[in-house]
Structure 1
Amino acid sequence: MTENPWTTRKIATIYENPWIRLEHHDILNPAGKEGIYGKVHFKNRAMAIIPIDEEGNTWLVGQYRYALDEYAWELPMGGGPIGLDLLESAKRELREETGLSAQKWTEIMKIHTSNSVTDELGIVYLAEDLSQGETEFEETEVLQIRKLPFSEVMEMVMKGEITDSISIAGILKAARILGF
């Protein structure tokens, strides 16, 4: 069944900031019974970038993630405002977080990060033909950058050392595409 079996009766904004909006929905569920649904609406599209050099190396970014209360290694990533060109946002994020620029960009996947409670959409790009410049960290970023063979990054995914969903999905898809 591809038609929407849910009926939305009322939507109320519970909380909003520059990045998200939390909504309370009064609904009729597919059985026709009254219920509620909570939704987190993201005001940006997520994007992750897998930079790959000629030797098969890639870059990871490490940072303390406030919401998780733990340190995380992940792909260079960020958010692009809805309505703006996402590829341009991805180029900006790669440059800001790693200092890298790429001549070749390939979108390799779209991913919904948690489709039961949020409408967040993520895009993963493969970035090739790289050149190194200077990083431009944002004021909220205290980042470590690691250049690693892609095979080591795959091992980090398999050992559970990378837990970010967009990073994991992107790395696994890139491994398939690149023949790792």
Structure 2
Amino acid sequence: MKNPWTTISKKEVYDNPWIRVEEHQVITPTQKKGIYGKVSFKNLAVGILPLDENGYTWLVGQYRYTLDEYTWEIPMGGGAIGQTALESAKRELKEETGLQANEWTEILKIHTSNSVTDEVGYVFLAKELVQGETAFDDTEDIKVWHLPFQEAYDMVLDGQITDAISMAAIFKASVLLKK
């Protein structure tokens, strides 16, 4: 489809090691002048749904500064641009849970909030797991929880898990596991 938007100009209004914010002067699809803000992340989003042979998974709990609340979610993090999503996923799984997986399947590509950001996330199902030691980043105070996959699914349904990538991953995995 042809892009109905016209960009007149764009300028960077904020930049740090993790994000860049731009303000765009635009002509909207209805031919009116307007502005549009765009947040570009300097990493890929990667999420991992580890699943063992007994149907258990792992969630990580942490206090999310931006939300000002504690959340439960699948192991996830940022992957450096230039590194594959799978390489980043393997690192994040090890850091946050201590797990290493011998079987990896990409199950999801997701645009995290396509009205304001161009961020892309990738989610992998990790199986054939081996437990090791965690290696948290200095910004992480994480609790790791090993629980039945069905319980994680129920947490999404009753609103205990609200992270979009976690929700999408758990729902997608539920469908794939029933096939």
Q: Give the number of aligned pairs.
A: 179
Match of 1:101 in 2: 100
- Segments of 4+ in structure 1 off by > 3 A? none
The CA deviation at 1:80 is 0.5
The CA deviation at 1:107 is 0.3
Q: Kindly provide the amino acid, as one letter, of the partner of residue 133 in structure 2.
A: E
- Equivalent positions of 1:70-89 (< 5 A) are 70-89=69-88
What is the alpha-carbon distance in structure 1 between the residues aligned to residue 30 and residue 65 of structure 2? 39
- Equivalent positions of 1:124-139 (< 5 A) are 124-139=123-138
Note if 1:18 corresponds to 2:17.
yes
- Equivalent positions of 1:154-169 (< 5 A) are 154-169=153-168
List per-residue Cα deviations over 1:7-65 (Å, max 9, x = no partner): 11111111000110011000111122211001111111101100000000000000000
What is the alpha-carbon distance in structure 2 between the residues aligned to residue 166 and residue 106 of structure 1? 16
What is the alpha-carbon distance in structure 2 between the residues aligned to residue 179 and residue 134 of structure 1? 32
Q: Kindly provide the amino acid, as one letter, of the partner of residue 36 in structure 2.
A: Y
What is the alpha-carbon distance in structure 2 between the residues aligned to residue 132 and residue 95 of structure 1? 9
What is the alpha-carbon distance in structure 1 between the residues aligned to residue 131 and residue 161 of structure 2? 24
SS at match of 1:9: strand
- Equivalent positions of 1:47-126 (< 5 A) are 47-126=46-125
Match of 2:144 in 1: 145
The CA deviation at 1:86 is 1.2
TM-score (norm 2): 0.98
TM-score (norm 1): 0.98
The CA deviation at 1:81 is 1.5
Match of 1:175 in 2: 174
What is the alpha-carbon distance in structure 2 between the residues aligned to residue 120 and residue 86 of structure 1? 13
Match of 1:38 in 2: 37
Q: Kindly provide the amino acid, as one letter, of the partner of residue 140 in structure 1.
A: T
- 5+ unaligned residues in a row in structure 2: which ranges? none
SS at match of 1:25: strand
Task: State the percentage of identical aligned residues.
Answer: 61
What is the alpha-carbon distance in structure 2 between the residues aligned to residue 32 and residue 172 of structure 1? 39
- 5+ unaligned residues in a row in structure 1: which ranges? none
List per-residue Cα deviations over 1:94-141 (Å, max 9, x = no partner): 000000000000000111111111111111100000000000000000
SS at match of 2:161: coil
- Backbone CA RMSD of aligned residues: 0.9
What is the alpha-carbon distance in structure 1 between the residues aligned to residue 154 and residue 75 of structure 2? 18
SS at match of 1:138: coil
